[in-house]
Every structure is written in C-alpha cells, then in structure tokens.
Structure 1
Amino acid sequence: MPPVKVEIRPYANDDWDAIARIHYAARLDGLHNSADSEAFLTLTQIVEREGLFDGPLWVAVTDGRVAGFVALDDDEITWLYVDPQRYRQGIGRALLRHAVAAAGPRAEVTVLDGNPAAEALYASEGFTITETRTGPLVGNEAFTATGHIMHRDTATAHTSIVG
C-alpha cells in the first residue's frame, strides 16, 4: 500500500481511547512471534509502570483518525505502535523519523526478537543491533523474552525522504 498523508502532533487527553485501542491490537500482534500472548497487559495496566508519559508523546493522524503513537524518553524510543489495519502505509516510518529528529545525537530502541517487520523498519532508518538480551519481558516480568537493542547515530546517519 502506498504511503498516506500523516500528521504528527502532540498527544492530547482525548487521544487515550485511540492509543489504548492501537496498543491492544499492535502489542498482541507483536507478542505473537516474540513471547507468549498470555504476557499481554493492557495500556491501562502498564501506563504508570512503563512510563508512557515520561517524555514527549506524539500521535500520527491520518484521515482524521489517530493511527499510531510514539514516545521518547531522552534518546530512547520507548513506544512506537501503529494500528495493524494501517501497517505498511508509512505511518510507523513517519513516527520514527519524528522521534529520531527530537532525540539527542544517538537514538536507541529495543525490538522484540520475532518482530522482523519492526526490525526491518529500524534498520532501514539506520539503526543497527548493538546488543541482544534475554530476560524478563518489560511490562510483564513474569514472562521471558529476547530483545534486540538497536542504536542510530543521528549526527551521521542519513536517510532519504519518502514522499
């Protein structure tokens, strides 16, 4: 599917239902090949513990609806979720580029092993795997998962602009 027009704007309280719905669908999708889907917790259950509001939070709006969101804490992209019905339309890339532009000279993200689409997105934007860890799943420590820590040097990385 071709890229769509995406507006990135700061999160507003009225966006809660939309990002909770997106998190529900996308997190379950991400856990499918990475960890047991029984590890899933709703956004309401983890929002405080996982620091969604610790740094800037932005939403992507397409066709007048919130289609994804991204959060940044210092130089770490801590949340990036897109409505699964809107995958492969450039929304995740637009959110990622927005967060990278706001990050310091080095951006970091952790991708669950078993999520090749997310890993490919980050790699296509200049991120490389610098470490792989297996341990408690962030957000539901009763489960184990493997995550790839990826970094991008924003001072030297160059990407093409997708129109």
Structure 2
Amino acid sequence: MGSEQVVIRRAGDSDAVEMADVWLRSFTTALPTVQLLHDDVEVREWFTRVVVPAHESWVAVTDVRVVGLLVLGRSELEQLYLDPQWRGRGIGDQLMHLAKRQRPDGLRLWTFQVNGPARRFYERHGFVAVEWTDGHRNEENEPDIRYIWGPVK
C-alpha cells in the first residue's frame, strides 16, 4: 500500500460494491457514535441500484481496489469518502478539486456535527457553514451542518 499509484476515474456499475465497502469502512471509523441504520447488504444494494446508476460517481483506485469515492448531484456533493487506511495522502483533496471543476457554479453538502475531521476538511476547501440542525431531517436523527461553496443558488 505504500507507494501504489492512485487513479481517479468515472465509476462504473462494477465499482458499486467496492464503493459501498469503502463507504462502510469510512463511516464506521469516522462516526463511531452515529448509529448505522442499514446493514452491509442494504448499503451495497443502495450503491448498486441507486448511487452509481443515478448520480455522477467517481472513484479513486489503485491497481487492485477502490480507495475513495465522490458522488455528485446537480449542485450537491452527495458523498466523499476515503478508505480509512488511505486518509492523509491527498486523495480527498484531489476528489474535492474534481468536484469543484465539475460544479464550478457551486456546491452544497451536509455533514454530521460530530464529524470534526470532515468539517475541517470542507472548511479548508472554502466551504462555509450556513445551517445547523438538530438532525430531524436525516434518518439517523443526528445533528448536522449545511455547507456551501461558491455561488450556489
């Protein structure tokens, strides 16, 4: 894993399960206090049937596996997750730069208030917190924050 080359490319249907596995590892590592409401099978199914087919999806891959993912909606950064073992190597920065290139008119996103590393990452990339909630609008009922970058309307 030391010096493996990482390539960022559009995700295909065959990447969906590995993307889900990265999402699961990242979520459980970064958010140990947030209850995961769906089991592994349900998350893999969601990536396979909904996320990859319906959204602009990108993956960061090595020769052997997916190590990061980016999912974009029309003006929403839907997902940006890295395999925990691959954090701190600039892959998240590369994915964020890609997101901004793909959506130069602006992006918005939600993140949980307890996710300090994600909040610092987004703020470092110019996102501004514009709304804090008690979590009543997300299925985890976890307090969250709305961030925007650029001139999102």
TM-score after normalising by structure 1 = 0.77
The structural deviation recorded for 1:126 is 0.4
Whether the aligned pair in 2 keeps the contact of 1:28 and 1:40 (CA below 8 Å) is no
Name the residue aligned to 1:152: 149
Unaligned runs of 5+ in 1: 156-163
More relative contact order, 1 or 2 (CA 8 Å, 6+ apart): 1
User: Secondary structure at the residue paired with 2:59?
Assistant: strand
Distance 1:85 1:68, change over 3 A: same
Question: What pairs with 1:1-163 in structure 2 (closer than 5 Å)?
Answer: 6-33=6-33, 35-36=34-35, 38-42=36-40, 43-44=43-44, 46-47=46-47, 51-53=50-52, 54-136=54-136, 138=138, 141=139, 143-153=140-150
Amino acid at match of 1:58: W
Percentage of pairs with the same residue: 24
1:119-154 superposed Cα distances (whole Å, 9 cap, x missing partner): 11111110010111122474xx2x310111111116
User: Once the 2 structures are TM-superposed, how far is the Cα of residue 48 of structure 1 from its aligned partner?
Assistant: 7.7
TM-score of the two chains, using structure 2 as the length reference? 0.82
Aligned position for 1:159: none
Q: CA deviation at 1:64?
A: 4.8
Which is worse superposed, 98-107 or 70-79? 98-107
Deviation at 1:26, TM superposition (A): 0.7
SS state of the match for residue 24, structure 1?
A: helix
User: Which of the pair is proportionally richer in strand?
Assistant: 1
* Counterpart amino acid of residue 115 in structure 2: N
Instruction: Check the 8 A contact 1:100/1:154 in 2, yes or no.
Output: no
Larger mean CA deviation between 108-117 and 16-25 belongs to: 16-25
1:38-88: per-residue Cα shift (whole Å, max 9, x none)? Answer: 535432354489x52432100012455321101000110001110011111
Gaps of 5+ in 2: none
CA distance, structure 2, for counterparts of residue 145 and residue 16 of structure 1: 26
Amino acid at match of 1:9: R
Q: Secondary structure at the match of 2:135?
A: strand
Q: 1:154 to 1:125 in 2, by over 3 A?
A: farther
